[in-house]
Structure 1
Amino acid sequence: MSISHYIKEIGRGKHGARALTRAQAQDLLAQVLDRSVTDLEIGAFCLAMRIKGETTEEMLGFLEATRLRTPLIAPAQDGRATVVIPSYNGARKCPVLTPLLAQLLVQAGCRVIVHGVVQDPARTTCADVLQAMGHALLHSAGAVRDDVVNYLPIEVLSPAVAQLLAVRRVVGLRNSAHSLVKLMNPCMGRALVLGSYTHAEYLEAMDAIYVASGADAFLLRGIDGEAVADGRRFQHIDAYCAGQKHNVQQAQVGRITHVPDWPADLGAAATADYIHAVLAGNFPVPAPIAAQVRHVVAWVNAVPGLCAGH
């Protein structure tokens, strides 16, 4: 098999490239994930899509191809709603507080599944912090529990997608998989996916995909690209119910006037100690994160189908 005919269409440069249909995009990524094409073709695909940019229909095709090759996670046994948190960025300028968000949501009665990378040579990852807090990473999608923070490395959830993400280490550029992992729902049924973006063009792209795919999701400009709210200010948050968009929080205007008592050390141990202190009540939960938790809990309790009891 070959994807050369697709590369010919998408590889004509930013202005000359042609978009693929959803079915073509699904077939292309299926061959890439199945490793039925050469490394050279995979590299060409990654670079061509990086230059051209993905359309909504192409991303929908990529999501379908990925879902067909992912071991989907069964609904919670006790009927609670599932919240999915992609974590692929880690700490760059501020501590990665995705583990704090995840733990607060578990305490509020949600089943939480975090998926992401385990290590990043340049950043402290969510996985690093969770392990420093005493959480074990899962080795199987079937090991997900209802009442704890579940961390599924992408290498476990989808080894093929993990390989595609790893192309970045070779060519030095992100590819379609980096957008894909922030959109995917790895569950059999409905789950609330917490999405985040870093630049305005990603906001527009993710919004279009959530609407077109009928997704259940939250979308905000998180901190350092993570899906946890920036603890220094309130962000604009939109929620999607089967693709229908609703605003649940307006953005705070003006300069940042308050910085939480989080550590200057962005390492895993210091971040874990801070999160433990917050959970023990020794430090307050940063107000924007507390608000994010309240919005998520209220949403999953109000939307029919997200909880099995509804």
Structure 2
Amino acid sequence: MDPNDSFSTAIETLASSRPLSTKQARIAVAAILDGLAGEVETSAFLTALHVKGETGEELLGAVEAIRERMIPFDSGRSDAIDTCGTGGDRAATVNISTGAAVILAACGVPVVKHGNRAASSTSGSSDVLTELGVAVEAEPAVLRAALDELGVAFLFAPRFHPGMKAVAPIRRRLPFRTVFNLVGPLCNPASPAFQLVGAPRPEHARRMAEVLAKTATIRRAAVVRGEDGLDEVTLAGPTEVLLVDGGRIEPLAWSPADFGLPETPATDLRVEGPSESARLLREAFRGEPGPVRSYLLANAAAAIWVVEGTSLPAAVERAALAIDSGDAAGLLERWAARSHGAP
């Protein structure tokens, strides 16, 4: 069948509020990545899928298409974790998952973080890392060296997913998050064994957990969603958790008290852009008390829990020590230097 006919059929199906099969979704997303779909058609597809709401099969098809075309990264690690949210929660917060990645590495938990520039948020992970001095487009050999020596690497999505380049301008023009926000965290080129993923809506969290449960390389993962809509562990109230372990999905719930941290609204985390986000992260790494520190501790603790099963309060203490000892700040500076090729 002509790929253009398949793509048009997919748009018509979605516009009729009918779901695509995994195969249909894979073919449609493949057409986008291979440059076979025009901008208007791609916009129509992404809009129709967003309005209908993505199913687990559609997400799986999109993930398959993206992973078939990605450039894999050999991390050499079987114990690494990725920490990221989907974006699109409209909270405009400081880059919590990126800051948590630095703390995790300082705790001795290796992180292979996959990320991109902001598509539907104020500050993407690559935006804030650039402000923090990290070269986000470093060569794979430099990334591997940083991971081996410091326990952290950032995999810039466009470098490893060249097919995404064509769709990036379209994503920026659309006033909502797209399926690529949801599947991005599921397509880490390093295929880490552990993941902590944030999603802003319960139906998105469930679908992402379903895909992670079918991902052979995943040993244990958690999809988290704050009841306030934050795509991170929240301290404004309960956090809904979907634990993926051994291909099974178990629903859990966390409260700020489970971490031993005070209830704190996410509105205290709002930033206007990556420079402000970087400044707040640096202040937190210097030991500045306040909401940014609390949220960093909670999310770093959640990731430690995913990888090691450590109790949340004990994990918070470990993360706090990494900050207060200066290890997190020191690691960030070494990472920045190493990413530019410095020994």
Distance 2:157 2:82 in 1: 13
Give 1:103 shift.
0.7
- 1:272 aligns with 278
- 1:69 aligns with 69
* Equivalent residues of 2:82, 2:195 under 8 A apart: yes
* Equivalent residues of 1:25, 1:58 under 8 A apart: yes
Q: Deviations over 1:108-130 (max 9, x none)?
A: 22222223333569713333322
Give 1:278 shift.
2.7
Identity of paired residues, percent?
A: 21
Assess, with a 3 A threshold, how the Cα gap between structure 1 residues 84 and 225 changes in structure 2: closer, same or farther.
farther
Gaps of 5+ in 1: 304-310
Paired letter, 2:4: I
Q: Deviations over 1:270-293 (max 9, x none)?
A: 433332333233437744542432
* Equivalent residues of 2:87, 2:121 under 8 A apart: no
Q: Which stretch of structure 1 is more off in the superposition, 216-225 or 18-27?
A: 216-225
* Equivalent residues of 1:94, 1:223 under 8 A apart: no
- 2:153 aligns with 150
Assess, with a 3 A threshold, how the Cα gap between structure 1 residues 263 and 47 changes in structure 2: closer, same or farther.
closer
* Equivalent residues of 2:62, 2:183 under 8 A apart: yes
Give 1:168 shift.
2.7
Which of 243, 251, 254 is the aligned partner of 2:255? Answer: 251
- 2:162 aligns with 159
Assess, with a 3 A threshold, how the Cα gap between structure 1 residues 40 and 165 changes in structure 2: closer, same or farther.
same
Assess, with a 3 A threshold, how the Cα gap between structure 1 residues 140 and 11 changes in structure 2: closer, same or farther.
farther
- 2:245 aligns with 241
Normalising by structure 1, we get a TM-score of 0.77
Give 1:248 shift.
6.0
Distance 1:225 1:89 in 2: 11
1:99-248 pair list within 5 angstroms: 99-119=98-118, 123-144=122-143, 145-146=146-147, 147-188=150-191, 190-213=192-215, 215=218, 216-221=220-225, 228-233=232-237, 235-246=239-250
Task: Tell me the secondary structure at the aligned position of residue 59 of structure 1.
Answer: helix
Give 1:8 shift.
2.2
Distance 1:239 1:185 in 2: 19
Assess, with a 3 A threshold, how the Cα gap between structure 1 residues 203 and 298 changes in structure 2: closer, same or farther.
closer
Assess, with a 3 A threshold, how the Cα gap between structure 1 residues 72 and 242 changes in structure 2: closer, same or farther.
farther
Q: Deviations over 1:237-258 (max 9, x none)?
A: 33212422245652359xx854
Paired letter, 1:202: H
Q: Deviations over 1:161-201 (max 9, x none)?
A: 2432431334544432222113223225x422221111222
Task: Tell me the secondary structure at the aligned position of residue 220 of structure 1.
Answer: strand
Q: Deviations over 1:20-65 (max 9, x none)?
A: 3322322222222111343343233223323333322222121111
Gaps of 5+ in 2: 311-343
Question: Does 1:299 pair with 2:306?
Answer: yes
How many residues are paired up? 297
Distance 2:124 2:138 in 1: 18
Task: Tell me the secondary structure at the aligned position of residue 50 of structure 2.
Answer: helix
Give 1:84 shift.
1.5
Normalising by structure 2, we get a TM-score of 0.71
Distance 1:44 1:274 in 2: 38
Q: Which stretch of structure 1 is more off in the superposition, 287-296 or 222-231?
A: 222-231
Paired letter, 1:103: V
